[in-house]
Structure 1
């Protein structure tokens, strides 16, 4: 067979492709054989779309000298850099914007796989070739042309969407040659400008499906629920006639025929599925049926007659080594983590996920906004000029993408909304998509954030609206079109989880719950897209030499790249917990409220613990009725145990899983609260020792000070280095803000004002009776502002008390990053403290901080953000022990310790830049600035500002025997 060079015009054609079968539902059955073509493929990379001819697709072609790649996979993540590199941009196209043209430099990967049909297919071979088989690609970025046994069967675009080809007539029992040419750039790339890595390749499954004669190509399960009567109505439409059976419901009806029976409904909290079968003359297709009805009613999104509150997350597909090539185990791990952290909803940003992920959402229970594979964000750089979604030439491609999403996923009860895409402006193409979707499936709502006038959508959706605006929207004071004012509101993105943060989630949640119109939101986003790297730990934008990139903006998830939950996810779990536990511990009564939308509390057990000074002195079960959604009950606590102590006491009440569930073990904590009883006793040190001058030193009780500078040198046999006032922290991503933010990017302003290079002037060292007083002024160069700081030391002979008084001077126009003292210890490893834990907390991220006694190593105190930044502070610390010292605070303080300085932390760009030193640097902070989420959203609320105001705070140091 002779081959000619195939034209590459299809690469820049705005059409969705040619040769593919119409889209249909995704399913598998035991009656229809399938052959996975995943595995090792031969691979050749060319620099342009037309660098090689098509002879590789011919039978007998010798590809023995080609490289190999894994499919599913991205070639740029394989070959140790030999196949190019990933590119990360948030919204800028990494090629000139000249739609639909793409660069000549267009990396093109030829993939080759030779396969035999399984032995048990051989007996059916003649019939198989006649009746047909389907070759299915579940995801290829960004454009592919396919040959089977030398025949060109078509090409397609739409990277995160399925494409199938009829190939039964081309197959043979052995030696089949499948050739796929994949182009990194195509006209389709203009429709796929999502905030993620650009990663070419065949990254989802490739499967050969046997299609028996008489089998259904497509079917649509309609399963509604009447919440008034408690009845479900099932109708299964099929392109081939058959029967539908659901044994548990005694259903046996013809396709297309509705039947109504009593059922238990499906919800994200109670994901009840019924197993059924669609039987045609050629195949039995398993069905997993969830009965539920989604409507827009009374200006609210209602499911089964009740308004829902989304406690959601945006989820990109990601694995730190395989990119968007996820396996089932990884997808299940995501869903289980979500359920265990109280999430109830997922927006599939910004494309349909692997279809198996939706099976898991059906099974375990998550509301899903299924988003189309569409984003044209880069056109914002030219004021949306030439935007494809407002260009009729591109409308067939947009409709194709909408259809491939809807038809593939239409049978999933978890999907409650179809989203037209993300950040694509507005235009006629989006209207056409919305109209087509409504015509095909009226049982779900339509979402699109960019349509603020709500012409094409059923919900008013926004990104990163600040707290004040969300409050106005909740109260109906936001204005807008008449239609919009009568629609429910969601934040499809909020709480930008980049680095340390996000802050302010609890404040958002209080607003969501206060106004019926506000139906929750979806935190951005699920996972940091760090790429595992041998030298850098995890790489982000710019680490591969990209011409354009957006740095670590791709690392903005609630879990780290290895799927370890971040403090942000722990905080979010607490903020959205589905049981509210409130009360006054002193009066022995607790109020329990069921905040679920559908489930009662029968699956939960409640337990109490009584603590004194952080130690548990009593535990027991607490009887709470199985409250219905929205119900509350006052529950009496038992008599508190005798502690024999005069310290701080409190109740801790927890809601636990009473039994193991599909997603969590018995005793998994769902919700908790701490209710104070007795207050902490203030720290008291009676000054009885006096400062004694000596040879270059002044001694005071157990401490020695430099006689000239007044600097603390030792306490007992513990050496102390560099104790002084500290106001600087290594700015978080949220401190630094985003380039388009306004003039409240605190990290930038702090540097502008020189807070990272404060100078300490010594004014006086005074021995005054029983006190040693050191007077200083702390100020940045080039500025007239400063902090007049006085250190006053006293001792009772065994303990040492430091009182720090700070008086701002000048016109301070910015808040402080932190306010406290920093010092170094030569030997410190284990840390014990009584205060908030076990993880870090900051003023607006402290909901999940549990008051108790905690223990850790210094290394374990660190939070491993992909880009190093301020981390690891523990809140509300009463006392801490480390390095031979015991430290008590008056009042409580923020505590952190690390084996590098703040300046070294600030300079690091990756965790591998941080080298532990011989000194452990300890921060004892009177105050910290809030975190916010200004890496993309709003900064911290004003009440979390650490304003430069007069302050006084004390610490008591003593040798820790």
Structure 2
């Protein structure tokens, strides 16, 4: 308890007791070889593993005296450390976006915590200190604990800490024996939780590594390495600062530190002399020494060329014996802001980024190292070059991997007070009383991560309003440690503190105006509704979208507009998609797996599936939006220079790599989707940021003008790299060649079979020896269709105007479920309410029958007219024409088919799902797959599996029997097929609730409207992606049986 009488975990002035100051993480070795080989240091002891564990719902129930040596914990459970205890079955995960969990009080009660529900986890474990650690200082390191905790060793209080996302470290030397008991008491909520209101699952426990390490009494406690370049960015000056401490009571003798720089091949850099400094320290004293050296033409670190050096520090005592050996990897790179642009090593860069939560569907915040590595590899393979650590410092292993593989990092402090605000959707202003904690969090993040070259921007946190006193103090604290990186804070819209002009969810047209440095009135940025930003306010600062392209469910529409703006305007330095991974928790019910979201654990309040915003699913399998991101972020573009003569202009959008350094190229000519020609394309040196013309010998290709021809150019990795195998497609472009698609002619081989017509009160039957078609009088639709005795259509082929709402269309119902009754698509149920006004049929001049059906439709400005032409071959055509008086959701037809037709092929965009405003990441070609691969299981079920720009598609069984739908009107079609009904899809809230029916649902569409993606859970569609009212819509399809 603090002197004020408040409990430590409710006292904003107590953020730690007996904690070591922040510093870079260093572990000493005995030999240089073992350190460079990555072996475990003999002075490092992991305490990860099984611990004894007790969990209670409130502090008053926690076990007392459990820290004592003789406490009997035999009845306690065991728990894995690191872990979140909720992921192990203790208590429940809570997901909220803005609102604080009930235990955290707001308003005048800050920083009080509800004592009736503040679970406490008590941990115990035994450990022994290695014999050769005697005489050394021994530190206990917690890499991450949520949210506040006390530590005892052998029954003696060691200290207290809060601040969940940065390390807490304690000197435990005086508390140790040969055999020891470590006890930790963790509180789920504390006053520190007021700064941790991020859009995430609220989890707790010892969730990052715990370890011991030993140092000499006189030791190197911190290292800071940074560099500067000359005007040509050729030669560099390196600066090395070392904090030295004497933890003993006696003065040291004359000690020496020697600094050696090794290149990536572990050879000493010959152009850098060995640096030495001698020193002595009084007892309990410390000092900082700084050494500088010139380095001739070092290899520079960038995300494209992530070259790392290693600094070796040898610490010798007065006898000349090496008593300490530490290493620090680093890169030569310089970050600058000039002329409202972001420069790295003198070259402007674009941040093609994502936001990333440290989250795993099984382990929660205790993300395994292997998953961290795979996350970064996945980003690299999809042309993502930057991440924002939303919204807190993440596992240190992430930064190591980003250093090694090459990702730019915006490192964000663990500060968010969103839910303190009283105005809906406006982030709450951080109270000044939390300044001490906010500054401490900033300092500890900067100290921990300052040597990582991947970190190019510090961020002061997220959605905490703007408090100039607090945010200025945070910035100044960071600059006292590191002056080499710019400071970011989105909430500072007057740009008093932030070096970067940052916004969330600005629309593409607003980004355009900012790129043009014009005044802009933002239509939807929560703190700035209606605020006018004048050119003078921001023109000197680079502009970044710290969050954009909200990827919730079936979303990410019109993404390419943002990328185009980034590439067109130098002051627009890029952005970070919200976000990387769906934050779903893996669960199982009735033998079926699914991903849970807010509310699934009885957590109240909750924000439902608003945590499901990723371009990848929780297991890191791709959502369809990932392919759009990969295409938009690719670093190679192909432009037709003189395509008729095979001349292409290839643009290198990399900032530091020549194309021949990373890719090979090949080209293909596709004829009606099939590959007809394929060749390699020799890539000459194409420097970064330049264009070069190349010749493709199209004159050697015979192109059929009666067929649709495309040129497809693919750029693949030219060798295996740390994040990908060789021949991996990094970029592609597709260009139209002469020739047009023509539907295949109608089969005339069966003209000898006359069609007979049988009318009844209920319907009309059209048949011959090949097929039988039933037309219902009440429905006005084809009710059933068989060919050679095989049922091809099982239910009516009816008009369809509705789709199961996407997450964007559900909008505010995500937060307030009852609003779903008010947010109703005007086209839902319209087809079932149709009225048949007319049915007529006649024989045509040829061997066919024409059927005309006229419907009256709700929301129709005109009648809905359907023309069906039935051919003797069994083929039939359907043309639908309609003028709506409200914007359409979709315009198409729906039916069901037997489930044997599970094999799908099509000629159009693919292979993955595409939508009207999200299809640039798919190429036009011939694609094949089975239905389970064709559908897409969004975490919260919604409209899925659509394919666009389709010329034809076919469904067949394993014997090749089935049917084909042809775009007879040449308007290009869309289609989808599901192994469940539309009602099943609408009712399901999780993927395990979707049944597998014995009939599939087939949707044949002219179009669906777009899905949007500019805003969080709001479908603000751009005009060109709407199906507007008052316009005539018409399409024509042909049904062709494929049955012997």
Q: TM-score, normalised by structure 2?
A: 0.86
Matched, 1:317 2:397: no
2:936 to 863, 878, 895: 863
Residues 1:197 and 2:201 aligned together: yes
Contact 1:765 1:772 in 2 (8 A): no
Find the aligned partners of 2:237 and 2:628 in 1 and give their Cα distance: 40
Q: Is the 8 A contact 2:57 2:118 kept in 1?
A: yes
- 1:89 matched to 2:96? The reply is yes
After superposition, residues 225-236 of structure 1 pair within 5 angstroms as 225-226=229-230, 228-236=232-240
Distance verdict in 2 for CA 1:480–1:438, change over 3 Å: farther
Alignment of 1:509 with 2:578, yes or no, is no
Q: Deviations over 1:645-670 (max 9, x none)?
A: 84212111011111111111111111
Map 1:835-874 onto structure 2 (within 5 A). Answer: 835-874=908-947
The question of 1:498 aligning with 2:552 is answered yes
Partners of 1:747 and 1:637 in 2: CA distance: 58
- 2:904 matched to which residue of 1? 831
1:457 deviation in Å?
0.5
The yes-or-no answer on 1:955 pairing with 2:955 is no
Compared with structure 1, are the counterparts of its residues 435 and 755 closer, same or farther at alpha carbon in structure 2 (3 Å cutoff)? farther
**Cα offset, 1:485, TM superposition:** 2.5
User: Which residue number in structure 2 is paired with residue 259 of structure 1?
Assistant: 293
Which has the larger displacement, 411-420 or 701-710?
701-710
Give the alignment of 1:131-170 within 5 angstroms. Answer: 132-170=137-175
| In 1, Cα distance between equivalents of 2:258 and 2:538 | 43
Aligned-pair CA distance for 1:153: 1.2
Partner SS state of residue 765, structure 2: strand
- Equivalent position SS for 1:694: strand
- Counterpart of 1:50 in 2: which secondary structure? helix
| Aligned counterpart for 1:422 among listed residues 444, 462, 483 | 462
- State how far apart, in whole Å, the 2-side matches of 1:155 and 1:881 are: 66
Greater mean deviation of Cα atoms: 912-921 or 679-688: 679-688
Distance 1:829 1:27 in 2: 58
Distance in 2 (CA, whole Å) between partners of 1:649 and 1:499 is: 34
Question: Offset of 1:620 from its aligned partner?
Answer: 1.2
Whether the 8 Å CA contact 1:453–1:481 is kept in 2: the answer is no
Deviation at 1:585, TM superposition (A): 4.9
Map residues 666-677 of structure 1 onto 2, 5 A cutoff.
666-677=726-737
- Does the 8 A contact of 1:109 with 1:201 survive in 2? no
**1:460/1:645 CA distance change after superposition, 3 Å:** closer
How many pairs are equivalent?
Answer: 938
Match of 2:528 in 1: none
C-alpha separation in 2, matches of 1:886 and 1:746: 37
Q: CA RMSD in A?
A: 2.5
- Are 1:773 and 1:790, in contact at CA under 8 Å, matched by a contact in 2? no
Change beyond 3 A, Cα 1:675–1:233: same
Aligned to 2:314: 279
In structure 2, relative to structure 1, the CA distance for the partners of 1:331 and 1:25 (3 Å cut) is same
Report deviation, 1:803.
Answer: 3.1
SS in 2 for 1:418: strand
Alignment-derived partner of residue 341 in structure 1: 382
8 A contact 1:225–1:265 mirrored in 2: no
What's the counterpart of residue 853 of structure 2? 775
- Report whether the alignment pairs 1:564 with 2:621: yes
Match of 2:877 among 779, 802, 826: 802
The match for 1:681 is 742
2:265 corresponds to: none
Change (3 A) 1:449 1:730: same
Structure 2 residue corresponding to 1:906, chosen from 986, 991, 995: 986
Q: In structure 2, what is the equivalent of residue 628 of structure 1?
A: 687
Which has the higher mean CA deviation after the structures are superposed, 453-462 or 887-896? 887-896
Query: What is the match of residue 114 of structure 1?
Result: 125
Residue 472 in structure 1 maps to residue 513 in structure 2: yes
Hey, what's the Cα distance between the residues in 1 that align with 2:402 and 2:841? 69
Query: In structure 2, what is the equivalent of residue 694 of structure 1?
Result: 758
The answer as to whether partners of 2:121 and 2:205 remain within 8 angstroms in 1 is no
Question: C-alpha distance in 1, partners of 2:416/2:334?
Answer: 29
- Asked whether the equivalents of residues 700 and 794 of structure 1 are also in contact (C-alpha less than 8 Å), the reply is no
How many angstroms does 1:587 deviate by?
Answer: 3.9
1:599-641 per-position Cα deviation (integer Å, ceiling 9, x unaligned): 1112211111111121112211102222112111121112343
| Counterpart among 1021, 1024, 1027 of residue 943 in structure 1 | 1024
Q: For 1:182, which of 156, 167, 186 is the aligned residue?
A: 186
Alignment of 1:717-736 (within 5 A): 717-720=790-793, 721-736=795-810
3-state DSSP of counterpart to 1:574: helix
Pair 1:641-2:651 in alignment: no
Q: Does residue 358 in structure 1 map to residue 414 in structure 2?
A: no
Partner of 1:706: 775
Counterpart for residue 75 of structure 2: 65
Per-residue deviation at 1:682? Answer: 4.2
Question: Closer, same or farther in 2 for the Cα pair 1:11/1:718, shift >3 Å?
Answer: same
Report whether the alignment pairs 1:590 with 2:668.
no
- Cα separation, partners in 2 of 1:800 and 1:286, compared to 1, 3 Å: same
Quote the Cα distance in structure 1 between the aligned partners of 2:583 and 2:465.
25
| Residues 841-886 of structure 1: per-residue CA shift (max 9 Å, x gap) | 0111101112221111112111111000001111211111114111
Give the 3 Å change call, closer, same or farther, for CA 569–576 of structure 1 in structure 2. Answer: same
The residue number in structure 2 matching 1:575 is 632
Q: More deviation in 366-375 or 380-389? A: 380-389
Residues 421 and 429 of structure 2 are in contact (CA less than 8 Å); yes or no, is this contact kept in structure 1? no
Distance in 2, matches of 1:857 and 1:411, equals 49
TM normalised by structure 1 equals 0.94
Deviates more, 1:241-250 or 1:589-598: 241-250
User: Would you say the 8 A contact 1:112–1:177 is kept in 2?
Assistant: no
* Equivalent pair of 1:501/1:932 in contact (CA under 8 Å): yes
Deviation string for 1:676-717 (max 9, x for gaps)? 212212455499787631265432674512363452421413
Aligned residue number for residue 111 of structure 2? 100
Identify the match of residue 412 of structure 2 among 364, 371, 374: 371
> How many Å separate the matches in 2 of 1:680 and 1:686?
18
Distance 2:827 2:897 in 1: 30
Are 2:424 and 1:402 aligned?
Answer: no
Match of 1:554 in 2: 611
Q: Structure 1: which 5+ runs fail to align?
A: none
Q: CA 1:787 to 1:194, structure 2 compared with 1: closer, same or farther past 3 Å?
A: farther
- Aligned residue for 1:394, secondary structure, equals helix
Q: Are the counterparts in 2 of residues 787 and 806 from structure 1 also a CA contact under 8 Å?
A: no
Q: What CA distance in whole angstroms lies between the structure 1 residues aligned with 2:871 and 2:680?
A: 45
In structure 1, the partner of 2:889 is: 817
Deviation of residue 739 (structure 1)?
6.1
User: Is the Cα–Cα contact under 8 Å of residues 735 and 746 in structure 1 kept in the other structure?
Assistant: no
Q: Please list the CA deviations of residues 257-311 of structure 1 after superposition, one character each: whole Å capped at 9, or x if unmatched.
A: 2111221111111111112312223321122120111111112111111111010
Asked if the contact 1:759–1:778 (Cα under 8 Å) also holds between the matched residues in 2, the reply is no
**Contact residue 41 and residue 112 of structure 1 kept, 8 A:** yes
2:671 maps to 1:612: yes
- Supply the distance in 2 between the matched residues of 1:738 and 1:462 (Cα, whole angstroms): 22
SS at match of 2:291: coil
Partners of 1:104 and 1:169 in 2: how far apart? Answer: 34
Contact 1:348-1:370 within 8 A present in 2 as well: yes
Secondary structure class of the residue paired with 1:431: helix
